[in-house]
Amino acid sequence: MLVDPVSSYVRAGTAGMNRQIDDLILAAIFGTNFIGENGTTSETFGTIGTGAYDVANTVGGTASGLNVAKLQMALRLLMTANKGDLMEAPYCAISSYEHDLLLKEPQVTSRDFSSGLVLEDGRIKRFLGFNFILTERLTVTAGDRLVPVWLKSGMYLGVWNDLMTRVSERADKSHATQVYLCYTMGATRTQLGKQIRINCDDQI
């Protein structure tokens, strides 16, 4: 049976582009925004580990990884910044390492502490109101993995040109198949206070 490799190339290329979109959004959460009428005023997120919207890596234990205490503090900072009124569920992106640490927390895995669905197929989906997203694309700085928490309304992905794919032959390359993909997008915060940075000791 013949297998057309072109479709596999397109799927792989699309997956790569989607990873780049993830990187755009992740970089924008803690990145420098340009605000003001002309977009020339810079707005920084704050010094890593000590900013107004930071959870230090010492919360829940000296130089510790992700734990329930850090999630509780992140939730408190979100509630404080939004006047105690969270109209939407926050999201939290974690790596497999943070996921493994949370599985070791009794509050996460014991029904005595949670009445809702926390684990699904062995993966943590929701806890303390957070929706968890697994990714291996988080930034590690000075030994700390920067775990983002955000409200959906606090982030914006601007799409000028959606993902476009083209499959063609290259006459100058012995008519080899060429797969072309492109997009034009950008991401930014909509306002400070809808994102929290949890500093987690990275011991991998």
Domain boundaries, the chain: 5-201
- φ/ψ region of 19 (left if φ > 0, alpha if ψ in -120 to 50, else beta) reads alpha
pTM: 0.86
**pLDDT surpasses 60 at 53:** yes
Q: Could you give the C-alpha distances from 85 to 42, 60, 197, in angstroms and in order?
A: 28, 25, 19
Query: Which residues is 72 bridged to in the sheet?
Result: none
The whole-angstrom separation of Cα 131 and Cα 92 is 6
Half-sphere exposure of 30 (CA within 13 A, CB side): 24
The whole-angstrom separation of Cα 155 and Cα 28 is 8
Residue type, 200: C
Residue-level pLDDT at 1? 41
pLDDT in tens, 122-135: 889 999 999 999 99
pLDDT band at 199 (very low <50, low <70, confident <90, very high): very high
Position with higher pLDDT, 17 vs 184: 184
Average pLDDT over residues 100-104: 93
Helix (H, G, I), strand (E, B) or coil at 164: strand
Structure tokens at 25: 């959004």
